[in-house]
Amino acid sequence: MTGPRARLLAARAQLEASLAALDGEHAAVVAASRDSNADDEHDPEGATVAFERAQVDALTRATHARLGEVDAALARLDAGTYGVCERCGAAIPEARLEVRPTATTCVGCAAPA
């Protein structure tokens, strides 16, 4: 079993690797569209290129958001507030933090009302 810092750092490394891969995908999509003289608006393949670019951009934004969550969890760890529910102040169960190391709420507070 690893500690919370190790889990968070592993998650951070995985997210950074995902960002590098997404940057490569984005560059490939942009290069493919630049090398063709296709008009996205009138070319049947244009919608696919635009969709692929939008999909990679959305995945990149989501990955940056997850990276922000990991960085915030690391900051809470440094501040001594990691594992404390932001809503009720109770301890977040270790099992929840193992599954979701960026959790900010206990199970009770995370449940829909």
Strand-pair partners of 84? 91
- The closest alpha carbon to 89, from 72, 106, 112, belongs to 106
pLDDT at 82: 97
Q: Structure pTM?
A: 0.80
Of 99, 16, 7, 30, give the one whose Cα is nearest residue 60. 16
DSSP string, 85-108: -TTT-PBPPHHHHHH-TT--S-HH
Domain boundaries, the chain: 4-82, 83-113
Which of the residue ranges 5-14, 25-34, 84-93 would you say has the lowest mean pLDDT?
25-34
Q: Name the β-bridge partners of 91.
A: 84
**Per residue in 26-76, pLDDT tens?**
888 777 776 665 555 555 555 677 788 889 999 999 999 999 999 999 999
If one counts every other C-beta atom within 10 angstroms of the C-beta of residue 92, the result is 20
